[in-house]
């Protein structure tokens, strides 16, 4: 058994919940999703793994609309 929190709203709660469970003789691993996600992403990056270029094609170029003239030079096109 393991408890994996499902949202970042529980960030920082894993240790206190794990301690509370342990005080009731319930030794269950409690996993905080944010550090797990960051470690997983870093591991994938270190290994050079990326998404499939066939399954996830780059976005098509689009005209940028709705920017004020002073902001237009700083806009990044798709």
Structure confidence at residue 51 (pLDDT)? 83
- pTM of the complete model: 0.52
Distance set, CA 6 to CA 10, 13, 56, 72 (Å): 8, 12, 26, 39
Instruction: Give the percent of the chain with pLDDT over 70.
Output: 85
List the helix and strand counts (H, then E) for the chain.
2, 2
Q: Which residue has the higher pLDDT, 1 or 56?
A: 1
Q: Under a CB-based contact definition with an 8 Å cutoff, are residues 10 and 33 in contact?
A: yes
Mean of pLDDT over the chain: 83
Mean pLDDT of 27-47: 92
In this prediction, residue 75 has a pLDDT band, given cuts at 50, 70 and 90, of low
What number of residues does the chain have? 78
| Of residues 62 and 49, more confidently modeled | 49
d(CA 66, CA 78): 15
């Amino acid at each position: 058994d393991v408890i994996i929190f499902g949202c970042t709203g529980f960030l920082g709660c894993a240790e206190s919940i794990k301690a509370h469970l342990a005080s009731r003789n319930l030794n269950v691993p409690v996993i905080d999703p944010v550090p797990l996600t960051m470690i997983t992403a870093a591991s994938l990056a270190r290994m050079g793994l990326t998404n499939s270029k066939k399954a996830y094609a780059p976005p098509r170029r689009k005209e940028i609309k709705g920017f004020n003239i002073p902001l237009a030079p700083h806009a990044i096109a798709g």
